[in-house]
Structure 1
Amino acid sequence: MHREVLNAGIVGTGACVPDRILTNVELEQIIDTSSEWIFSRTGIQERRITGPEQATSDLATVAAGRALTDAGINPEEVDLVIVATSTPDMLMPATACIVQDRLGIKKQAGAFDLAAGCTGFVHALTVGSQFIAAGSCRTVLVIGAETLSKMLNWEDRSTCVLFGDGAGAVVLRPVPKDSGILAFKLYSDGAGGPHLLIPAGGSRYPATRETLDSKLHYLQMNGREVFKFAVRVIEESAEEVLAAAGLNKTDIDFFIPHQANIRIIEPAARKLGIPMEKVLVNVNRYGNTSTASIPLALDEAVHEGRIKSGDYIVMVGFGAGLTWGSVVIKW
């Protein structure tokens, strides 16, 4: 028996960032760097940092609640919660289960975390859309949330100046056939995993005095290799997902790349022929918030009234794994 495949679309957005702002000028006081050096190489001027009492689930819960309110949907209507994160509250239970409980979402709803580095939100959005396409769920809550500041070596200027904390969320529901998520592409290259990782804390290197003394619980990055990888895959991934959707570069109304570095975003936009006024950028105010960066930028643009019905939006993520991926949405 033939069953119609449903399109999934975003019907609500929400975001949450910590109150604490850490500026480049403040970083000058704790590491060997300068505000000008950071800004010229990254485009970052400040980032948000969680307090010692805040965890990833705290940001995720607020962002998700705001997305549900924006969509006009009660928590009891949610069928599935997906939290994309590299910084869960703990290894178990899933952060998504903590969010489900705090929001009062029904026990009949599924909840799980998804780990795909900074590409996590694109992966989670794709996975959530497939539950709707299959007819298994009607309402899916997708969240990208991170507290990477807790995983940084604040003596390492090559990493600690880059990252910030935050959360963004969207609500997915079935939408008309010619709208919503039109196409997606997901990729991986595990051979590049050593370029961006947190070595310890899992089953390979459980926490010991040696792993702590060696600072293996902090994020490590080969910045040069990650930069080259990112510049290459943004263009390729965007072009391939546009082709899958039957669209051209000139059809793009808004481009939302992962907010890693303005020196990655601007060259990618030039190669794609997308003017910067169509590129959503907030890396200057939030730094690299990993899985939260794309939904944060989306939420801002939606609530500023920039995104209109019928707009074509391309999202591209890239990060640890190595992973990368892209999505085309008709708003």
Structure 2
Amino acid sequence: MNLKFKNKKITGILTILPEKEVKFEDEIENYDFTRRQSMKLKLVMGFNKRRVVKKGTTVSDLCIFGLNYLFDKNLLQKDDIDALILVTESPDYFMPATSHVIHGMLDLKKDIYLDDITQGCSGYSFGLNKAFMLLEQEEIKKVVVLNADIMSTKVSKHDRSSAPLTGDGAAITIVENDDAGNSIYGAVKADGQGVDALIIPAGAFKLPSSNETAKLEKDKAGNLKALDHISMKGDDVFNFVQREVPPMIDTLLEKAGKSKDDVDYFMFHQPNKFMVKQLANAMGVSDEKMPNNLVENFGNSASVTVPALISFNLGDKLKNESFLICMAGFGNGLSWSSLLMDIGNLNFCKIIEYK
């Protein structure tokens, strides 16, 4: 599905990362691999270090910490928030919605739109698309989009395909109307036939957690994990991304009347370094225009990777400059989405640590 919006803008991006850092070498003995094999994987996949939450830290904790930072710095006023959207796959509770938890803890106004969106790696574009739609309403002037996940808590420490990559974090994006804004082009796509390619089989109502679902078993690749952990068919996910994302971007650019040369940066979800590099090669885009340096520094934090990538690579530049940026996410569902828009002259764009 192709989307188009006018007169909307991003005015700030804040990324919140846990202060706890885990290095790949510190966990290398967990994997059923020789050290030489593991170090080769580190080079190819971008294994290095990742940020993970301490036990007991929740998505709401990360978001509240970041919002309070913005309130304290006078970068955001509580009463100006007309809508609060949270994109997460690791909510505090089954019920109530975590956006309501955040609303209550911060004592925000009652005349407000709250929403939780259950999306993973494609979720940044989904959240922004919802924000743009809400801004069509006369009484909504400012939308706060929260992306947050703590998926490190759902990965087996013996799963070398996921554990060395999975990080945690949150991001806050402020979205407002802009009478002089350029058009924004987007796309959202889904294929529910591929739901088992990336899934946590147990823990919800379909298969509640139990002693049986917690048992570790070795898969065909030699990874020890339980039904309560993330399960990924790596080849299926890789092939899906290489097959579906390039044509989505080609169509997006065609709708916008732009070429790849017109785009300043391609800020794509960061599952691992290898996949991003292969995607860049397939699209004929240089590493300079499609950065792939997030996982090796912070890990894969699902929908947080896109705003984190922007903050990490552009940061203060976006306070005084503007760039045409193509964003894309892809992952479980299966789902894939993208946005093409001008981003710049922001009030803030930075990374802070949750302590």
Please give the TM-score of this superposition, normalised by the length of structure 2. 0.85
> Residue 15 of structure 1 contacts residue 62 of structure 1 at CA under 8 Å; is this kept in 2?
no
In the TM superposition, what is the alpha-carbon distance from 1:71 to its structure 2 partner?
Answer: 8.1
Residue 244 of structure 2 is aligned to residue 241 of structure 1:
no
In structure 2, the residue matched to 1:53 is 56
In structure 1, the residue matched to 2:102 is 99
Gaps of 5+ in 1: none
Q: 1:183 aligns with which of 172, 176, 185?
A: 185
In the TM superposition, what is the alpha-carbon distance from 1:243 to its structure 2 partner?
Answer: 1.9
* AA partner of residue 10 (structure 1): I
Q: 1:157 aligns with which of 157, 160, 163?
A: 160
In the TM superposition, what is the alpha-carbon distance from 1:70 to its structure 2 partner?
Answer: 7.5
> Residue 147 of structure 2 contacts residue 171 of structure 2 at CA under 8 Å; is this kept in 1?
yes
Q: Where does 1:295-310 land on structure 2 (aligned, <5 Å)?
A: 295-305=307-317, 309-310=321-322
Q: Where does 1:137-216 land on structure 2 (aligned, <5 Å)?
A: 137-179=140-182, 182-213=184-215, 215-216=226-227
In structure 1, the residue matched to 2:280 is 269
Gaps of 5+ in 2: 217-225, 344-355
Aligned counterparts of 2:159 and 2:331: Cα–Cα separation in 1: 19
Q: Which has the higher helix share?
A: 1
Aligned counterparts of 1:38 and 1:50: Cα–Cα separation in 2: 24
In the TM superposition, what is the alpha-carbon distance from 1:101 to its structure 2 partner?
Answer: 2.5
Deviates more, 1:63-72 or 1:117-126: 63-72
Where 2:10 maps in the other structure, the secondary structure is: strand
Where 1:278 maps in the other structure, the secondary structure is: coil
Aligned pair in 2 of structure 1 residues 9, 45: CA closer, same or farther (>3 Å)? same
Aligned pair in 2 of structure 1 residues 41, 71: CA closer, same or farther (>3 Å)? farther
CA RMSD of aligned residues (A): 2.1
Aligned pair in 2 of structure 1 residues 39, 171: CA closer, same or farther (>3 Å)? same
In structure 1, the residue matched to 2:14 is 14
Please give the TM-score of this superposition, normalised by the length of structure 1. 0.91
In the TM superposition, what is the alpha-carbon distance from 1:117 to its structure 2 partner?
Answer: 2.0
* AA partner of residue 224 (structure 1): D
Q: 2:44 aligns with which of 41, 55, 60?
A: 41
* AA partner of residue 89 (structure 2): S
Q: 2:269 aligns with which of 258, 264, 288?
A: 258
Residue 128 of structure 2 is aligned to residue 117 of structure 1:
no
Identical pairs, percent: 26
